[in-house]
Amino acid sequence: MKRLPGFRDFYPEPLPDGEAWSANVRKHIFDVWHEIAEFYAFQPYDGPPLEPLSLFTAKSGQEIVGQLYNFEDKGERAVSLRPEMTPTVARMVAARERHYKKPLKWYSIPQLFRYERQQKGRLREHFQFNADIFGEADPAADAELIAMLIDLLRNFNLTAEDFVIRLSSRNAWQDFFNQNGGDESKAYDFYQAVDKLERTAPEESEKKFQALGFTLEQVRDFIDSAEPTEELQAVLDNLAARGMSDFVKIDYNVIRGLAYYTGVVYEAFDRHGKFRAIAGGGRYDQLVSLVSGGKKEIPAAGFAMGDVVLVELLKERGLMPEIPGNIEVYALVEDETKRPPTLSMVQKLREEGWCVDYPFVSMKPDKQIKRALEVGAGFTVRIEDDEFAVLNYFETKQEEKVPFGELGNRMIQIICADDSE
Amino acid sequence: MKRLPGFRDFYPEPLPDGEAWSANVRKHIFDVWHEIAEFYAFQPYDGPPLEPLSLFTAKSGQEIVGQLYNFEDKGERAVSLRPEMTPTVARMVAARERHYKKPLKWYSIPQLFRYERQQKGRLREHFQFNADIFGEADPAADAELIAMLIDLLRNFNLTAEDFVIRLSSRNAWQDFFNQNGGDESKAYDFYQAVDKLERTAPEESEKKFQALGFTLEQVRDFIDSAEPTEELQAVLDNLAARGMSDFVKIDYNVIRGLAYYTGVVYEAFDRHGKFRAIAGGGRYDQLVSLVSGGKKEIPAAGFAMGDVVLVELLKERGLMPEIPGNIEVYALVEDETKRPPTLSMVQKLREEGWCVDYPFVSMKPDKQIKRALEVGAGFTVRIEDDEFAVLNYFETKQEEKVPFGELGNRMIQIICADDSE
């Protein structure tokens, strides 16, 4: 019995013969994501992991189907595991936006899926932090999102030397395309060619651009000479006011391949150039209209950051969080007559909020101590008599008799005294 | 564009025209689940939401397929969205158990799926708290799980008057079945008939039992007269030592329908009898062996609690958690010249861990105040000059000039002073 190819098991800790993934690392990453989103006053939301296939083709065209984990369900509906969150949130906002004061600031941490037949060994699922602002067309909303992206990365101890947000403008690219006689029906092909420019051989890019009525030189000159547009300058000024200038630069190599971007676009990159983009986003003012069949017009902007590149980057920089074991207290059971009062003590400590473990069955005292050390407990505690327990602090080998009711307070005192030394 | 039938959208707050569900309520429930699991020294894990169909049929037989959200993937694999977590965790443990000291105490909060053609209007997904202990055959492990289940429910302010854990023993039922000449090949049908006894007309139950060589009276007498088995007495004593006797009772009506239970079984019920079981579990010592093709023998026990019945129960009892808005501070922008220093102040407060919002674009002062009240901010703050901000506490209408660097401390002082009054 094996899991499906491209899916991950999350064991509590990384295994010696396994990946860096673990449920504890994932929980830590999610906790940071939730916390920063909260500081930025974003609200959580979520949608179904399975959606009608048409939701995704409406946004990205039929060509997306080759990359989807799609199938026909028992009710003969064409459905797909979600490959991204944006269509779902656009659907949700279109359905209920009348209930909300704008702007909306929403975030989610969905698991996403894809299935490309050719690409064996590639993950078919990942988790992604998604943030969107609906109902605000001003670049102030783009800046708020970019600031949050910077703080999300900083909170994993990444610095301006580790990453940079490359800022660009789909508007500027569209103007360039139109002013140089681009054929509107081929705009998507052009954006795709620019998007892939850095990863494509020059001769091949030259061929692509010439087919669209451009030269590679012309495109490169535009990238090299481009000045910030008004909206990009507004974003830069806004981030400067927050002291975040070191984390961003204008870079017109970024364009975001997908058809639906309409304004400021950006990607977060490893400064050492080793990894794929860490995160990316931009403005998509037409998307809600597209998903609602033209019924709702709501400006929108957002970004997404996956867990896979983030963990690869943290691992490479030696910044993988060390997750301490969660067990704080190990209760020893000297002999079985002391099991009932031990259980009573364990219960009281847990009710006070201590993370407590103990042996389920009779075990030799030295094996119990060994187990306590293995699970990383700071304290052991054992029943002495009807009133007292013996508390032992591994760090200092301090041992003392403490009345049951005082155990929690005493442990806090010991930890604080140790911390302040 | 609509979501699929049987799936839920989770908006940030419950909507006036919608369900009690919301992303904030879900997050609160998950936070409690994580916290209690941690106090009990359980470790998180997770597996793929999609598994080979054979994982589920190996455990539950082909008859389960009619209830599964199963399909054929693009690689022509028979796969299914997971209907329960136990087969996945048994697979994971069987694969890597050599890396771990026993017993393992693991928990997970998966989203689960089912698809029954007939049942329109029923949810096709839900979230479930799952906890398992692997590698400990003693009833002490069952008692630990039941104690955690009790604390999970207590932490939503449910009391011994709201719910009770009905304890039973599959071993006792098996002995009864065997001692009265039951045919082993029909044991599953017998367990199913007992499981449905309370929801089935007596004549129908009588017919079912007679087909299996029993009478309804015989079964009822066993239920009425049954004494705790040795293992059940051990569980009762263990829970009594924790002060939890009020939350459990022996009740042989409970048997758990599925084939694989082997020892102590239990279900948590609404004392008022209004809802389906809130949670259920038991011991399944053969499951790892079943899932590993007989390669590993590891005793196991666990339980699961879904989000749907829990929320229905909390709603009915008026115990739905009130989730306060997460915005603590609303920064006012008096005029646009003050936007840059306001952004700087917002950034500093967020870095200190305050949840801060502010208007993205120019807005009349009274509308800003209105917005601050709507989002539930406790404080407004606005730039006064190069050194000072004006802090306003809605609760007391207290307004004062505070140096930028002192804002965080001052807010803590004000909140503490207000709390202690």
Residues on chain B touching A243 (C-beta within 8 angstroms): 344, 347
Domain for residue A351, yes or no?
Answer: yes
Contact B353 A71 (CB under 8 A): no
Residue A401 has pLDDT above 90, yes or no: yes
B396 and B264 in a common domain? no
pLDDT value for B360? 98
Residues on chain B touching A244 (C-beta within 8 angstroms): 347
ipTM of the complex: 0.94
Domain for residue B10, yes or no?
Answer: no
The predicted-structure confidence for A57-114, as pLDDT tens digits, reads as follows 987 788 889 999 999 999 999 999 999 999 999 999 999 988 889 999 999 999 999 9
Of A23, A73, A340, the CB nearest to B46: A23
Pairing of strands A300-306, A329-332: unpaired
Residue A121 has pLDDT above 80, yes or no: no
A274 and A231 in a common domain? yes
User: How high is the mean pLDDT of chain A?
Assistant: 94
B171 and B100 in a common domain? yes
Asked which of B289, B316, B343 is the last residue of a domain, the reply is B316
Pairing of strands B329-332, B356-357: parallel
Q: CA of B27: which chain A residue's CA is closest?
A: A44
Which of B118, B343, B369, B370 to mutate to probe the A interface, most A CBs <10 Å? Answer: B343
The predicted-structure confidence for A361-398, as pLDDT tens digits, reads as follows 999 999 999 999 999 999 999 999 999 999 999 999 98
A166 and A42 in a common domain? yes
B202 and B172 in a common domain? yes
**Domain count of the fold of chain A:** 2
Tokens 């709501």: give the residue.
A298
Which of A24, A38, A46, A124 to mutate to probe the B interface, most B CBs <10 Å? Answer: A46
pLDDT value for B122? 86
* Alpha-carbon dihedral A183, A184, A186, A192, rounded to 10 degrees: 120
Percentage of chain B beyond pLDDT 70 is 99
The predicted-structure confidence for A298-323, as pLDDT tens digits, reads as follows 999 999 999 999 999 999 999 988 88
Distance, in Å, from the CA atom of B355 to the CA atom of B331, rounded to the nearest integer, reads 11
Distance from CA of A412 to the nearest CA of B (A): 16
A34 and A113 in a common domain? yes
Contact B45 A10 (CB under 8 A): yes
pLDDT tier, A293 (very low <50, low <70, confident <90, very high otherwise): confident
C-alpha distances in Å from residue A217, one per residue of A207, A306, A419: 12, 34, 61
pLDDT tier, B393 (very low <50, low <70, confident <90, very high otherwise): very high
Enter the tokens of residue A130: 């998604």
Quick check: bond before A48 cis, omega within 30? no
Residues on chain A touching B45 (C-beta within 8 angstroms): 9-12, 23
Of A39, A73, A91, the CB nearest to B354: A39
Which of A11, A89, A108, A118 to mutate to probe the B interface, most B CBs <10 Å? Answer: A11
Q: CA of A234: which chain B residue's CA is closest?
A: B340
**Domain span including residue B208:** 23-316
Of B12, B125, B351, the CB nearest to A48: B125
Domain for residue A208, yes or no?
Answer: yes
pLDDT value for A60? 78
Residue A16 has pLDDT above 90, yes or no: no
Segment B186-209 shows an average pLDDT of 94
A58 and A206 in a common domain? yes
Asked which of A316, A338, A368 is the last residue of a domain, the reply is A316
Other CB atoms within a 10 A radius of the CB of residue B231 amount to: 20
Residue B259 has pLDDT above 90, yes or no: no
Residues on chain A touching B339 (C-beta within 8 angstroms): 241
B89 and B144 in a common domain? yes
Enter the tokens of residue A74: 């028992």
Tokens 């009348």: give the residue.
A98
Instruction: Give the closest residue to B410 by CA, choosing from B394, B393, B396.
Output: B393
Q: Which residue has the higher pLDDT, B274 or A329?
A: A329
Determine phi and psi for A211, rounding to 5 degrees: -60, -20
Determine phi and psi for A379, rounding to 5 degrees: -125, 150
Distance, in Å, from the CA atom of B184 to the CA atom of A35, rounded to the nearest integer, reads 55
Asked which of B290, B316, B342 is the last residue of a domain, the reply is B316
Enter the tokens of residue A153: 């990365």
B351 and B289 in a common domain? no
Segment A118-135 shows an average pLDDT of 91
pLDDT value for B158? 97
Contact B15 A94 (CB under 8 A): no
Question: Please, which contacts does A60-65 make with residues 24 or more away whose CB atoms are closer than 8 Å?
Answer: A60/A258, A60/A259, A60/A260, A61/A259
pLDDT tier, B1 (very low <50, low <70, confident <90, very high otherwise): confident
- CATH number for the domain spanning B55: value is 3.30.930.10
The b-or-e profile of A32-43 (16+ CB within 10 A means b, else e) is: bbbebbbbbbbb
- CATH number for the domain spanning A354: value is 3.40.50.800
Q: CA of B7: which chain A residue's CA is closest?
A: A48
Segment B170-189 shows an average pLDDT of 93
Determine phi and psi for A88, rounding to 5 degrees: -65, -45
Distance, in Å, from the CA atom of B347 to the CA atom of A265, rounded to the nearest integer, reads 22
pTM of the full predicted structure?
Answer: 0.95
pLDDT tier, A291 (very low <50, low <70, confident <90, very high otherwise): confident
Tokens 């941690």: give the residue.
B38
B179 and B73 in a common domain? yes
Q: Which residue has the higher pLDDT, B323 or A145?
A: A145
pLDDT tier, A138 (very low <50, low <70, confident <90, very high otherwise): very high
Domain for residue A297, yes or no?
Answer: yes
Distance separating the N- and C-terminal Cα atoms of chain B:
52
- Helical (H) or strand (E) element with B340: helix B339-351
The predicted-structure confidence for B231-246, as pLDDT tens digits, reads as follows 999 999 999 999 999 9
C-alpha distances in Å from residue A337, one per residue of A333, A401, B142, B238: 9, 20, 20, 12
Distance from CA of A213 to the nearest CA of B (A): 38
Which of B13, B24, B25, B46 to mutate to probe the A interface, most A CBs <10 Å? Answer: B46
Contact B242 A27 (CB under 8 A): no
pLDDT value for B153? 98
Contact B140 A361 (CB under 8 A): yes
C-alpha distances in Å from residue A307, one per residue of A33, A291, A325, B280: 11, 27, 22, 33
Instruction: Give the closest residue to B29 by CA, choosing from B159, B152, B209, B150.
Output: B152
pLDDT tier, A45 (very low <50, low <70, confident <90, very high otherwise): very high
pLDDT value for A156? 97
The predicted-structure confidence for A222-258, as pLDDT tens digits, reads as follows 999 888 999 999 999 999 999 999 999 999 999 997 7
A300 and A169 in a common domain? yes
Residues on chain B touching A374 (C-beta within 8 angstroms): 101
Q: Which residue has the higher pLDDT, A348 or A188?
A: A348
Domain for residue B18, yes or no?
Answer: no
CB pairs under 8 A between A and B: 245
Contact A4 B50 (CB under 8 A): yes
Domain for residue A4, yes or no?
Answer: no
Percentage of chain A beyond pLDDT 90 is 83
Distance, in Å, from the CA atom of A112 to the CA atom of A46, rounded to the nearest integer, reads 12
Domain for residue A324, yes or no?
Answer: no
Distance, in Å, from the CA atom of B416 to the CA atom of B421, rounded to the nearest integer, reads 9
User: How high is the mean pLDDT of chain B?
Assistant: 94
B348 and B224 in a common domain? no
Residue B258 has pLDDT above 80, yes or no: no
Domain for residue B324, yes or no?
Answer: no
The predicted-structure confidence for B126-177, as pLDDT tens digits, reads as follows 999 999 999 999 999 999 999 999 999 999 999 999 999 999 999 999 999 9
Residue B326 has pLDDT above 90, yes or no: no
